[in-house]
């Protein structure tokens, strides 16, 4: 009963508070990247406060954590939770996300101004070229890049193959490539009730640069699934 009450309160408080933040984001975007960055940090901070003190969700970071300079971060994607938390932790990253989100009126325009990379998950050649141009701009600006290479949220124990976008970014950027495994679905499932608990985010060792594509994909896939039950990977 307490978990259900926490979940209801979180939805009411977080989403209620998010409405004015999201609706005013395009106004901040009119004043440039710095103003919009402040707006984004406000929303991320609001999410952290609600998740920690209303929902009772805490983070456990293992490994070396975020690097000091720009990097390509490659993360498991199990829930809505890590999209906010990793954006907050990685300090102003450019995020690769599905194109449908960037098409949301007003908010989508503000998201593009912030620097998200909207990509068609079908992986067309045109979409990949657009992604690489946006990623190159992020590298030039000294910003990290965050991608969820399996393409969508997946339940615990599932590990769909890495999509083509990861290999393209890995080859083109030449940045330190850091895998992130996590278990957010244990407290925040894609379907069902949220509950209090600890989310582990395991930052793995950066991949060496210039690995062959097949080896890079195999190694990054294993690393982001490091917290999954071994018998169910693949």
Is residue 64 included in any domain, yes or no? yes
Is residue 5 included in any domain, yes or no? no
Is residue 211 included in any domain, yes or no? yes
Is residue 40 included in any domain, yes or no? no
Q: Pull the structure tokens for residue 12.
A: 């009411």
Is residue 71 included in any domain, yes or no? yes
- Mean pLDDT of each 10-residue bin along the chain, 234 residues long: 88 94 85 84 94 96 92 94 93 79 64 74 70 84 91 87 89 93 93 92 94 95 88 41
- Residue 124 is predicted with a pLDDT of 66
Cα 217 to Cα 226: distance, rounded to the nearest angstrom: 14
Is residue 10 included in any domain, yes or no? no
- Residue 233 is predicted with a pLDDT of 41
| Sheet order of strands, 72-75 included | 57-63, 197-203, 177-182, 72-75, 145-147, 94-98, 117-119
**Number of domains, the chain:** 1
> What global pTM score does this model have?
0.89
- Residue 102 is predicted with a pLDDT of 62
188 lies in which domain range? Answer: 58-232
């Amino acid at each position: 009963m307490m978990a259900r009450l926490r979940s209801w309160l979180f939805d009411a408080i977080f989403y209620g508070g998010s409405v004015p933040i999201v609706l005013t984001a395009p106004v901040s975007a009119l004043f440039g990247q710095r103003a919009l960055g402040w707006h984004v940090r406000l929303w991320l901070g609001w999410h952290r406060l609600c998740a920690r003190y209303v929902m009772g969700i805490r983070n456990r970071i293992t490994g070396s954590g975020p690097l000091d300079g720009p990097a390509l971060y490659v993360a498991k994607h199990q829930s809505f939770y890590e999209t906010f938390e990793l954006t907050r932790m990685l300090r102003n990253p450019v995020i690769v996300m599905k194109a449908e989100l960037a098409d949301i009126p007003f908010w989508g325009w503000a998201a593009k101004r912030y620097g998200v990379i909207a990509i068609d998950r079908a992986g067309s050649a045109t979409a990949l070229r657009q992604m690489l141009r946006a990623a190159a701009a992020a590298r030039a600006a000294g910003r990290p890049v965050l991608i969820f290479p399996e393409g969508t949220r997946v339940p615990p124990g599932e590990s769909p193959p890495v999509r083509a976008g990861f290999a393209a970014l890995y080859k083109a950027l030449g940045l330190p490539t850091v895998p992130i495994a996590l278990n957010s679905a244990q407290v925040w499932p894609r379907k069902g009730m949220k509950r209090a608990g600890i989310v582990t985010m395991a930052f793995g060792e950066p991949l060496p640069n210039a690995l062959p594509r097949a080896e890079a994909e195999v190694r990054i896939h294993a690393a982001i699934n490091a917290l999954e039950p071994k018998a169910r990977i693949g």
